[in-house]
Copies of this chain bind each other. A is one copy, B any other.
Amino acid sequence: MRDDRSVSAAERRRMTSDELTIWRSLIDTTAELRRLLGAQLLQETSLSPADYHVLLALSEARDRRLRSSELAATIDWERSRLSHHLARMERRGLIRRDDCATDNRGAEVLLTEEGATLFRAATAPHMRAVKKHFADALTPEQFVALADILQVLRDHLHPELTEKPAGGQPS
């Protein structure tokens, strides 16, 4: 019903300077939010946002351990990036890498006690910071609008993943 808007009309026009301004504002504002929250996280917990992301995935995994490639898939990182980062985290004692029992190529990444403790201690302050600098600024209506906008942007980026509106709702 609105599927064809993005591929038929409005394709030939140039981008408005207003639209460009909003694009830059989006990039700049999100960058500033990331910097602010990242710096605060690092200062209060000695964990970088990347550390936090890895620890979050590990702490939610069964037995707090994951194959390296599953971890990469979970947080949508390139393997190489993860390898480098795990090396740094291992040096700091946040995680450990064991040889995998069922596949001698593989490694299993697991949370150390220190990693788990640091992550637990980081969660609440980080949530508070996100609330303070992001969530507290917006009205409920704005949250709805933003969620809608982000959904549209993601669908536009991944047209192949967009569900056909033909079938019914899952329960």
Give A contacts to B, CB under 8 Å. Answer: 5-6, 10-11, 14-16, 18-23, 25-30, 32-34, 36, 76, 127, 130-131, 133-139, 142-143, 145-157
The reply to whether A27 and B30 contact each other, CB–CB distance below 8 Å, is: yes
A26 and B30 in contact, given A137-B6, A145-B142 (Cβ under 8 angstroms):
yes
The reply to whether A143 and B19 contact each other, CB–CB distance below 8 Å, is: yes
The reply to whether B22 and A136 contact each other, CB–CB distance below 8 Å, is: no
This protein's copies in its complex = 2
Residue among A27, A32, A139, A146 with max Cβ neighbours from chain B (10 Å): A146
**Residue A127 contacts which of B15, B36, B147, B152 (CB distance < 8 angstroms)?**
B15
The reply to whether A29 and B150 contact each other, CB–CB distance below 8 Å, is: yes
